[in-house]
Amino acid sequence: MEILAEILFGLLEIVAEWALQLLFEALFAAGVRAFRAPFQDGNREPLHPVFTALGYTCYGAIAGGLSLLVFPSGFLHGEGWRMVNLVLTPVLAGGSMALFGAWRKRRGKLLVQLDRFGYGYIFALAMGAVRFAFAH
């Protein structure tokens, strides 16, 4: 019974980490949309994917640092659960951002590159890595 409770508690903690990362990604994407919309002219070339990935890595690391100001303790305390979280949560966050992007595309809304799985994954992985390294 204790093992089942530990597994359930671990899964709930992973969901909490996923929700935190998704919240930061959604806020960041909304900020990018708000900043980009007035300058949208349709003629601008997108950045090379490597530069975009590096940018989202930096933004994810910054979001991880900011999240530590609000939640200095990690939601997960066992080393095994923290590793599972570091692997699983970015996949869930990237998938969530891709679903959100598909939903926005169907409605004809402005999309940003964070609305794709890969960039959402990179952002969440960087955020999770900072939390993994520095959360108590």
Residue 38 has pLDDT above 80, yes or no: no
What pLDDT is stored for residue 14 in this prediction?
A: 83
Six-digit token pair at 67? 């999240």
pTM of whole model > 0.85?
no
Which residues contact residue 57 at a Cβ distance below 8 angstroms, ignoring those fewer than 6 apart? Answer: 122, 123, 125, 126
Report the share of the chain in percent with pLDDT over 90: 38
121 and 94 Cβ atoms separated by less than 8 Å = yes
Domain range summary for the chain, segments of one domain joined by +:
2-34+46-134
Q: What is the pLDDT of residues 106-120, one digit of tens each?
A: 999 888 888 899 999
Residue 68 has pLDDT above 50, yes or no: yes
